[in-house]
Amino acid sequence: MKKIFSLIAVFIIFTACSGSDDEVRNNPNLPDLNFRFQLDLSFPEYNDLQFPGNSFATYNQGVRGVVIYNLNNSQYVAFELSDPNHPPNSCSGMTVNGVIATCGCEDNQYNVITGEIVEGEGRYTMKPYRVERFGNRIEVFN
């Protein structure tokens, strides 16, 4: 009898917990855009990306812009610069200062290394984009 109760308890635990985070990843506030762009690190405007710990923000790509951060010269991260916790509007674009991106609407603040919210309220993290480095070029795409 104890084995039956143990099996039922284990079954309930495994079926009650979901291993999927699709609800958090599929952000209804931000559209899925298809884009691809390259940055040539030999150009002076992208000079900061040649050194770990630096970032570059462009406001010509993505929904409201994209920030690229150099982790260690071989790994880079990129995130959308529209606040993920409300639909895009005139004030939803974020500005980057150091490793913090700040939304002008509610002053939500996000870490541009991890994409996580560090101040304010919200359910969603920053939307990540893919980044690859080929020699002296960085390619960012969705």
Q: Is the dihedral of CA 92, 78, 32, 38 positive or negative?
A: positive
CA distance 11 to 20: 18
Does pLDDT of 8 surpass 80? no
Q: How confident is the model at residue 21 (pLDDT cuts 50, 70, 90)?
A: very low
Does pLDDT of 79 surpass 90? yes
Report pLDDT for 12: 53
Q: 103: which residues sit within 8 A by CB, 6+ positions away? A: 83, 91, 92, 93, 94, 109, 120
Does pLDDT of 133 surpass 80? yes
pTM of the entire predicted model: 0.82
DSSP state, residue 113: T
Give the residue from 57, 75, 72, 45 showing the smallest Cα distance to 112. 57
Q: What's the CATH number of domain 2-141, 2.102.10.10, 2.50.20.10, 2.40.50.140, 2.30.130.10?
A: 2.102.10.10
User: Model confidence over 91-127: pLDDT tens digits?
Assistant: 999 999 999 999 988 889 999 999 999 999 899 999 9
Per the model's pLDDT, the better-predicted residue between 9 and 38 turns out to be 38
Rounded to 5 degrees, φ, ψ at 17 are -95, 130
CA distance 113 to 101: 10
Q: 139: which residues sit within 8 A by CB, 6+ positions away? A: 36, 37, 38, 39, 131, 132, 133
Contact predicate 108/117, CB 8 Å? yes
CA distance 79 to 63: 11
